[in-house]
Amino acid sequence: MSFRLRWLAPFLAFAFLAAGRAAESREPKNIYLLKQELKSYVDSGHYMQDIAAVAADATKWIEQRVAAAKPGERLALILDIDETMLSNLPEIRRNDFGYVPPSWSAWVRSGQAPVIAPVREVFRAARRLGVAVLILTGRVESDRAGTEANLRAAGYDGWTQLHFKPDDAKETTGAFKAAWRRRFAAEGWTLIANLGDQETDLAGGFSERTFKLPNPFYLTK
């Protein structure tokens, strides 16, 4: 290395580091591109395949657990509704992945949400095996009529309990659901499986196994 290069080296190193730092942009991913990813996840069939894989695991577990049940155990499956039993994708896509509260409420009241068929298979397997289905939803009490009609139209029949949040609820959906599971356990239910699309459907315990369905569309606290 010549004398001149040796003298320049620290300055060159500093210049490269500075350039590198400037290149580390903190710009989040472009929202248009994210929406394209969501659409292709759904349209490719991968979303439904991912759901089907989780649902198959849940059914397998329920079958094993029923086979190993002790006399007198009251076995139950916990289910969530939105993006678990029913799909809101028609509404979500109509609003280009935006959440528009009045539009969402009208959609829920309309009872038009299509079934998520792999979860209906879990539901039917549970019923066939004598496992009670206890449904907990972040939907509110005033959504009850539209929701029950929607579930029946989607082919769900024979749930044991269905609980909605009060219209004026202050607590999070996660806290509401965990409190109900605690109560179910206290009432003598053995909660063998809990299936939902949000971490808050599953956090807080009181079920032997949890099954997380994909939902890259929104987050519920």
- Positions touching Mg ion (CB under 5 A) are 80, 82-84, 197
Contacts of residue 189, defined as CB under 8 A and 6 or more positions apart, other chains included, come to 74, 75, 76, 132, 134
**How far is the CA of 125 from the CAs of 50, 69, 121, 165, in angstroms?**
19, 16, 6, 27
Q: Which residues pair with 161 in a beta bridge?
A: 134
Q: Which is nearer to Mg ion, 42 or 129 (CB)?
A: 42
Q: Could you tell me the smallest distance in angstroms from the CB atom of residue 84 to Mg ion? A: 5
DSSP 113: P
> Which residue, 82 or 143, is less far from Mg ion as judged by CB?
82
Shortest-Cβ-distance residue relative to Mg ion: 82
By beta-carbon proximity to Mg ion, the closer residue of 84 and 150 is 84
Residue 146 Cβ, how far from Mg ion at the closest point, in Å? 16
CA 174 vs CA 15, 59, 195, 204: distances in Å: 50, 24, 13, 8
- Output 79 or 125, the one with its CB closest to Mg ion: 79
Q: How big is the CA angle at 185 (ends 184 and 186), to the nearest 5 degrees? A: 90
Residue 26 Cβ, how far from Mg ion at the closest point, in Å?
Answer: 31
Distance CA 31, CA 200 (A): 25
Tokens 């009670």 belong to which residue? 132
For Mg ion, the closer of residues 65 and 83 by Cβ is 83
Least gap, CB of 218 to Mg ion (angstroms) = 9
Q: Nearest distance from residue 114's CB to Mg ion, in Å?
A: 15
